Structure 1
Amino acid sequence: MITQRLASATALAACAVLAMTACSSKATSGTSGSTAKAAAGSPKITIMVGGLSKQIYLPYMLAQQLGYYAKAGVNVKLQNEPAGGDATKNMLAGQVDGVGGFYDHNIALQGQGKSSESVISMLQIPGEVELCRTDLKGKITSPADWKGLSLGITDTGSSTDFLSQYLATKNNVDPATTHRKGVGAGTTFIAALKQKAIDCGMTTEPTVSQILKDGTGFILLDMRTAAGSRAALGGTYPATSLYLTTGYVQGHKEVVQKLVNAYVGTLKWIQAHSGAEIADKMPPDYYAGVGKDAYAKALDSEKGIFNPTGIMPPDGPKTCLAVLSAFNPAVKGKSINLPATYTDEFVKAAQPVS
């Protein structure tokens, strides 16, 4: 399917509002201020995140804001890419070392004969929400009504694409009868909904709160809770992770361990602090659209999505495989070695920074 995008004018306007966030593709240094000197001689690694300003990817920027990369002894450069599928392509091309994205990409990659693995599980559940336009309330009551509709995803090959196709299939709708459009996240997603370029779409906080606040859409499916995730997907669906090629992991174990030390510490910090305290640490651009109070409130309500330990949920990989096997030709009917798609080795050996 050819990815359809919003007009460039909309994208440029969004970039002006949210520079350094979802529309920015510029690199963001993993060090700043007094921590820069400490990290100068540390091993360097570039991580591309599939939407830095999304709350589901919060640990990446929060680790930087807390100074945990420098404390762990690693110099991290964060790059933003609105779609996880494109971030994965950049990793495979050697443009970046690792990806902050959904774990399920590792299963899809193995199905394509490529080898990568998640080294820490940051989210126990997707944290994704399917919203539909307010004017369609009562007309769309479940994914069973999706035939012929335009569905917003971040981009083709992204995890929102995977999940949307699965939800259609599960509800007896052939994904080929829907029109999946890559509309990114944040302001571009909201614009697509307002302009009726999409009927429904999958996104995360803080975009969800902004859409509900201005009445643009209503929630069709909510995967910000364990119960909602199980109802929609049939089980625990580990989402945000740090994944790298197996070759990189095997060749740079010391660097990977330092990274995991920083992220385990960050996950512990999240559990010990309120949404308001977390929001205080984040760059203002991250909550510019919805407001700091609403951003903090959303964090408080969905804190349960974050994995407090970093260990892969036992039933998670099987759920992800079941989802991808339902529609993805790269995975369907193939023998997938799930233990090769993730490792808990580094999390179990972690010495969390604080």
Structure 2
Amino acid sequence: MLSRRAFGAVSALSAAAVFAPAVLSQQATAPGLGRVTVAVGGQSVLYHLPLALADLLGYFESEGLQVVVSDFAGGAMALQAVLNGTADVGSGAYEYTIRQQVRGNHLRAMALHGRAPQIAMGVSRKALPRYDELSDLAGRRIGVSALGSSTHLMAVHLLARAGMRERDVNFIGVGSGAPAVAALRTGQVHALCHADPIMTLLEQKMDVHIVGDMRTLKGAHELFGGNMPAGCLYAPHAFVQKQPAQVQALTNAIVHALKWLQTAAPADLIKLVPPSYLLGDRGLYLAAFSRVRETFSPNGLMPDDGPATALRVLGRTGSDVAGAKVDLARTFSNEWVRKARLKYNV
């Protein structure tokens, strides 16, 4: 276990590690509910900010939890940690709950972090200076955080809208943070589909031309035709059934963090997050935050049309979900969020 003082140092080291997970944690001061391990793919990106805030602000501690956050290069790796039992809970894309149900693995979303994917795809201006349309990416390498991750799915969705298939390009997992930026700049990939602040950095530095943007509610709604739930806290049904008090405490902390995020000043955020999250540029980080701020859930509730929208999008990408029978009611519950809202008056 690491102290809060060591947290920043570990975060800086984790930005340089693409494939090996770094474990970030803080000790709980209010014992009672025990230890919970949460797996996340790229904690430093804004997509996972509510989880980071619940940890940094001590909200997990105040709920009596000893939370250990295991940070992986991508969401698919974090998901695998949950499935193989090395992590109790995951922080990642809601669509995992749908895709895994089809494969016989039952997961349930507890609290929604984001109301839009907060992801964009950019084409390298250096590698493809004459880029004109998505079909120009045929045969090219597209970087994503990890194969099977939300960044991968969103890239496939964008290509499908242009009449392209997944096999028309080559997807490469490049991790998050500094490694993802380096992969684009060094030519390892010709395009990158990723979250902020990474994409805002590359956009402002004129490294990429943005060709698909899901970082605003309007942009996401136009692309998906409805509310597309994104980041969430999820867990296997077995964990939910065996640890109801921990599930409620985790949800309480996330809802508390979302409430803080609604009124926090940018200066408050900068003081709180580790320096490695900023990618060396405070102003850029704040610009990225301002862009995606509206997409964070104000209360953690799953929107009424969210699950159906996600299922429809998955069906269009040619995944194994297409044509499968899915019980959406078993992929999420607003029960714990409703209780948390009463506690924190959200």
1:51 matched residue in structure 2: 42
1:126-160 superposed Cα distances (whole Å, 9 cap, x missing partner)? 10011111136774344344322211111111111
2:298 is aligned with 1:308: yes
Question: Do the aligned partners of 1:106 and 1:118 also contact (CA within 8 Å) in 2?
Answer: yes
How far 1:197 moved relative to its partner? Answer: 1.9
Q: Which moved more, 1:276-285 or 1:243-252?
A: 276-285
Distance 2:126 2:22 in 1: 37
Cα distance change on mapping 1:353 and 1:53 into 2, 3 Å: farther
Q: CA RMSD in A?
A: 2.1
1:231 to 2:222 alignment: yes
Percent of pairs with identical residues: 28
* Matched pairs, number: 334
Does the 8 Å CA contact 1:147/1:174 hold for their aligned counterparts? no
- 2:21 is equivalent to residue 25 of structure 1: yes
Q: Offset at 1:170? A: 2.0
Is the contact made by 1:146 and 1:173 (CA closer than 8 Å) also made in structure 2?
A: no
Q: Secondary structure at the match of 1:114?
A: coil
Is the contact made by 2:158 and 2:212 (CA closer than 8 Å) also made in structure 1?
A: no
- Choose 129-138 or 325-334, whichever is displaced more: 129-138
Cα separation, 2, equivalents of 1:26 and 1:16: 7
Normalising by the residue count of structure 2, what TM-score does the alignment of the two structures yield?
A: 0.90
Which residue of the partner structure matches residue 352 of structure 1? 344
The 8 Å contact of residues 21 and 80 in structure 1, kept in 2 or not, is answered as no
Distance in 1, matches of 2:11 and 2:336, equals 38
Cα-to-partner distance string for 1:42-90 (whole Å, 9 max, x where unaligned): 4210001111101110111211211111111211111101111111111
Compare 70-79 and 17-26 and name the one that shifted more.
17-26
1:186 aligns with 2:171: no
- The equivalent residue for 1:294 is 284
Is 1:275 paired with 2:259? no
User: Residue 245 of structure 2: which of 241, 245, 254 is its match?
Assistant: 254
Aligned-pair CA distance for 1:245: 0.2
Distance 1:44 1:17 in 2: 21
Q: 1:229 to 1:184 in 2, by over 3 A?
A: same
2:203 to 212, 224, 247: 212
Matched, 1:336 2:326: yes
Instruction: Give structure 1 stretches of 5+ with no counterpart.
Output: 1-14
d(CA) in 2 for partners of 1:21, 1:194: 16
Point out where structure 2 has 5 or more consecutive residues left out of the alignment: 1-8
Partner of 1:161: 152
Tell me the equivalent position of 1:3.
Answer: none
CA shift in 2, pair 1:271/1:151, >3 Å? same
Matches within 5 A, 1:46-195: 46-135=37-126, 139-195=130-186
Alignment match of 2:316 (pick from 326, 329, 332)? 326
Per-residue CA deviation, residues 252-281 of structure 1 (Å, 9 max, x unaligned), is 111100111111010010001122211211
Runs of 4+ deviating beyond 4 Å: none
SS of residue in 2 equivalent to 1:80: strand
Distance in 2, Cα, partners of 1:184 & 1:213: 21
CA distance in 2, matches of 1:171, 1:300: 29
Deviation at 1:30, TM superposition (A): 3.2
Contact between 1:207 and 1:290, CA under 8 Å: does it hold in 2?
no
CA deviation string 1:72-112 (max 9, x = no partner)? 12111111011111111111111000111010011100111
**Cα distance change, pair 224–212 in 1 and its aligned pair in 2 (3 A):** same
Counterpart-to-counterpart distance in 1, 2:201 and 2:140? 23
The farther-off stretch of 21-30 and 115-124 is 21-30
